Amino acid sequence: MNDSEAFIEIQNFIEQEYKDQLELICSSENSDQRFDLEIDVSLLLDYTTVAIPLIYNAPSEFIEVLKNQAQELLLYRGIERNIDIRLISPPTSFFKADIGNIGVEDDQKLITLSGTITRCGNVRSLAHKKDFKCVQCGTIFRLESLIELYNGFDLPPKCPSKKCRGKNFEGVEKSEEWKDYREVKVQDLFSNQHRGKLPPNLWVVLSGNLVNSCNPGDDVTITGVLITRWMPLLRTQQCDLDFCLVASSLRVHSSKLEHNIAEVETKEKLEDFEFRAKLIDSFAPKIFGNNHIKLGMLLCAIGGMREEISGLRLRGHCHCLIVGEPGTGKSQLLREACLLHLRGVSTSAVGASIAGLTVSAVKEGSEWMLEAGALVLADCGICCIDDIAMLAKEDLRDIYESMESQTISVAKAGMVCTVNARTTIIGACRPKKNRFDFGVGIDENSGLPSPLLSRFDLVFILIDQPDPEADAIKSNFILCGGHQSKKSLFSPGQLQYFLKKSREILPPITEEASEILGRYFDLIKNHEEIVVTIRHLESLLRLSQAHARLCQRDEVNSFDTTSVILLMESTCRGAGLLSIPPEDCFKDQNLFNQTQNEILVKLGYMPIIPKGFAIDDSILED
């Protein structure tokens, strides 16, 4: 089959499969607009085999052939339009699982890869075609800019006219043909990154209608042609080349968790308390005790429901802070919490800047670009910040917006915009004097300002007090490998998938649960030693919704609210409602039932008496 017959067959494919899109383009009255025509590569290869050599060996020429055939079909209808071909759904053989695997054998080949946008340049107008004139004879010829030369024009060594040997050329004014142009940097997805190694990245060139299709922190899948770009040649210096992907199509993942992770095996139906206890045991099994903190981290990883009421947006993400003495396992808990989410980012405030946490303005050549920090990269995920108190106070103020509004406003280098930072923040810090001082408040102990502390839903205190019995149990757990014999309900991958599925549940709150939360908030609001705001009530609601999701229930009931109140009593914001340490109540079911009824009685609500459980009369007398 010759080339003309092959082109006719490709034209027939476009006419049959994309007739509606062509008619829609023809119906537009704006002749200067650029239109995208998405071509399904797999569908084309099933239709005809003539495209196989072109798409594998010369994809740039293949895209140009598709464009020419589509424009010819429009010309048959008497219409002339600017069309950009977007290749979608290529076969799996084109997919690159890791940016680090891209090499010279992929040069000038069509590839598909997934990654996270880390840096975005400004949208610019690029003169991709321009007329030049020979100074000697006046011959005019047209050139197209080359991305390989950083959008420069490759002037010929001599005049194209056979009768002239001139070597001097000048541009013809107002002969340029313009298009939108933007460069972004993509790095490997968090699921593909290897701990302890810098993630590989790649520059991607966007043009036409793709320039505004992504922002820093977005997960994307890109199909395009890989090329090598030449840096400007300088005398006595080695030539420098770098890879670049010219994007043909780009898709932003609507969910940050569209990628496959381990699924949960079928399990037997357990009661709420027993099921919750097994989930707690599955999280950080190498860390002894601290069940209340583990439960709090699980609830923060799930979060509540994001709501919008009369234009007011209420965040669904929960934040958690651990103020602990040295050697209490804060950093290890943060590392385990980072594994609860596919988009888990772990960092330390020691040596970190606010630009590294939020958004920075970076100058690339003569152009300013936005580069995403840890909070933006963890969008719709978890960001764990160790030693958060080491940040300067002026830097901490920039985190306020990301914790409450879930966005980061940027006004740097002439760029004014807002990027998403829908992130759960789990932080840890030491007391100022390395030992917790119960004579002063949590703000003086942690060194964190009160406006920042009020944004944390849970603030736990970890202290290392001498206790011979508890120390003996811990020693036996460490020395005898107690964590190795414990059988967890879920593996880390299964727990991650379970939490992902739990976030899809949207449980409404019942009147009973709403009344219990309201009574508890009124009680602590009137407490002399506790300073709370309306954010505290929102935290109780979010955590109750997260607890119902954790237990796989369709509504928030009294079990969820009393569990959250019990969890809140184990933090520094507790009102002292219980006669026993609240953290012990998540281990034993009878003890939990007793404290649950104790809370309801002190709130003036009817206690819940399970079957086979006798309530203590002294609680009712109190």
Domain termination site, one of 49, 67, 89: 89
Domain termination site, one of 225, 252, 279: 252
Q: From CA 117, how far away is CA 110, in angstroms rounded?
A: 20
> Are residues 230 and 196 both part of a single domain?
yes
Strand order in the sheet with 382-386: 344-348, 382-386, 424-429, 320-324, 458-462
Query: Can you give the CATH number for the domain in which 357 is found?
Result: 3.40.50.300
**Is the dihedral angle over the CA atoms 38, 41, 47, 48 positive or is it negative?**
positive
> Are residues 119 and 85 both part of a single domain?
no
Q: From CA 158, how far away is CA 58, in angstroms rounded?
A: 28
pLDDT above 70 covers a percentage of the chain that reads 88
Higher pLDDT, 521 or 1: 521
Does residue 339 sit within a domain?
Answer: yes
Q: What is the per-residue pLDDT for 259?
A: 42
Structure token digits, residue 610: 């399970």
Higher pLDDT, 430 or 471: 430
Q: From CA 168, how far away is CA 135, in angstroms rounded?
A: 6
The band of 302, judged by pLDDT with boundaries at 50, 70 and 90, is very high
Q: What is the per-residue pLDDT for 267?
A: 44
Q: What is the per-residue pLDDT for 460?
A: 92
| Phi, psi of 563, rounded to the nearest 5 degrees | -65, -40
The band of 301, judged by pLDDT with boundaries at 50, 70 and 90, is very high
Query: pTM, whole model, 2 decimals?
Result: 0.75
Does residue 325 sit within a domain?
Answer: yes
pLDDT in tens, 121-135: 888 888 888 999 988
pLDDT in tens, 468-489: 776 677 777 767 765 554 556 6
Tell me the pLDDT of the chain averaged across its residues.
82
CA angle 40–44–50, rounded 5-degree value = 145
Query: Can you give the CATH number for the domain in which 44 is found?
Result: 3.30.1640.10
Q: Is the pLDDT of residue 266 over 50?
A: no
Structure token digits, residue 49: 């085999």
Does residue 527 sit within a domain?
Answer: no
Structure token digits, residue 339: 């594994």
Alpha carbon separation from 131 to 134, 141, 150 (Å, rounded): 10, 6, 18
Averaged pLDDT, 484-506: 78
> Are residues 79 and 135 both part of a single domain?
no
Q: What does DSSP assign to residue 60?
A: H
Give 142's strand partners. Answer: 131
Does residue 181 sit within a domain?
Answer: yes
Q: Is 619 exposed, middle or buried (0-12, 13-18, 19+ CB in 10 A)?
A: middle
Does residue 560 sit within a domain?
Answer: no
Give me the number of domains the chain comprises: 3
> Are residues 152 and 226 both part of a single domain?
yes
Averaged pLDDT, 597-607: 80
> Are residues 51 and 130 both part of a single domain?
no
Does residue 39 sit within a domain?
Answer: yes
| Phi, psi of 553, rounded to the nearest 5 degrees | -110, 155
Q: What is the per-residue pLDDT for 192?
A: 63
Q: Is the pLDDT of residue 547 over 90?
A: yes
The band of 561, judged by pLDDT with boundaries at 50, 70 and 90, is very high
Q: From CA 68, how far away is CA 62, in angstroms rounded?
A: 10
Q: Is the pLDDT of residue 620 over 80?
A: no
Q: What is the per-residue pLDDT for 98?
A: 85
Does residue 153 sit within a domain?
Answer: yes
Q: Which of 306, 259, 296 is nearest to 276 (CA)?
A: 296
Domain termination site, one of 67, 89, 111: 89
Averaged pLDDT, 287-291: 82
DSSP strands (E only) in 147-188: 169-171, 177-187
CB 395 within 8 A of CB 353: yes
> Are residues 447 and 366 both part of a single domain?
yes
Q: Is the pLDDT of residue 215 over 90?
A: no
Q: From CA 296, how far away is CA 543, in angstroms rounded?
A: 9
Averaged pLDDT, 210-228: 89
Averaged pLDDT, 163-189: 87
Q: Which of 156, 174, 60 is nearest to 110 (CA)?
A: 60
Structure token digits, residue 452: 């920042």
> Are residues 227 and 352 both part of a single domain?
no
Q: Is the pLDDT of residue 218 over 70?
A: yes
> Are residues 421 and 458 both part of a single domain?
yes
> Are residues 200 and 326 both part of a single domain?
no
> Are residues 42 and 72 both part of a single domain?
yes
> Are residues 177 and 71 both part of a single domain?
no
> Are residues 475 and 338 both part of a single domain?
yes
Higher pLDDT, 515 or 576: 515
Does residue 541 sit within a domain?
Answer: no
**Is the dihedral angle over the CA atoms 390, 395, 396, 401 positive or is it negative?**
negative
Name the residue with tokens 């609507």: 254
Q: Is 203 exposed, middle or buried (0-12, 13-18, 19+ CB in 10 A)?
A: middle
- Domain range holding 109? 96-252
Q: From CA 217, how far away is CA 376, in angstroms rounded?
A: 5
Query: Can you give the CATH number for the domain in which 198 is found?
Result: 2.40.50.140
Q: Which contiguous run of DSSP H or E holds residue 389? A: none
